Amino acid sequence: MKVESAREPSSPALEGALDASGKRFAIIVSRFNAFITERLLQSACDGLLRSGANKKDIAIVRVPGSFEVPSAARTLAETKKYDAIICLGCLLRGDTAHYDVIVNEVTRGIGQSAQETGVPHAFGVLTCDTLEQAIDRAGLKMGNKGFEAALAAVEMASLKSEIRGQGSGASGKQVPRSARNHKAKKKPSPRKRK
């Protein structure tokens, strides 16, 4: 894998670091197409450990198929125990429209869970036309998408921490939106009757 450095932006940018130390992760993995998903899982764990995660801070949850991944992701994210959720599965196109329906629902469900819970979710669900493509994406020719999903989860968990650390004031307490807007109209105080 070749990593190219990005050009320096004209203004400073926040970025997440590839440092998983002190963070907790949940990995949801589909049992369907286990020949592929187990490779994704092993590489995701490897990516987390290489990034500094502690083995005890990685929870692995197995679900029957990729369709069940979003539900499990949502349930885990709502516990607020995890800094990021990694979603792993493998969907192979068949001769019916079933594939398209499942791909759309899995993708929508994972994205919706991330948006509504505020916990970063990494998408490591393969959507392939053939078994050969899935094998290639699970470690043979095209890297391993489980490893890539783990690195994305680490970076997003770190970025979320960075963003939270950028709050106004040194106390780190969240300032209500109305207090941040200096142009906010102040409501007149109620007058007492005499």
Q: Tell me the average pLDDT across 138-156.
A: 92
**Residue 173's pLDDT is what?**
44
pLDDT band at 141 (very low <50, low <70, confident <90, very high): confident
**Residue 2's pLDDT is what?**
66
Catalytic residue from among 98, 108, 164, 180: 98
Question: From residue 109, how far is each of 10, 22, 71, 123, 129 by CA, in Å?
Answer: 36, 28, 8, 11, 21
pLDDT, tens only, 59-76: 999 999 999 999 999 999
Give dist(CA 66, CA 103) in Å, integer: 9
pLDDT, tens only, 80-116: 999 999 999 999 998 668 899 999 999 999 999 999 9
Of 4 and 45, which is predicted with more confidence?
Answer: 45
| Domain 25-164 of CATH type 3.40.50.960 | yes
Percent of the chain residues past pLDDT 90, beyond the cut: 71
182 among known catalytic residues = no
Cα–Cα–Cα angle for 2, 86, 151, rounded to 5 degrees: 25
**Residues in CB range of 2: below 8 A, 6 or more apart:** none
Q: Which of 85, 87, 90 is nearest to 34 (CA)?
A: 90
| DSSP code of residue 96 | S
Q: Where are the domains of the chain?
A: 25-164
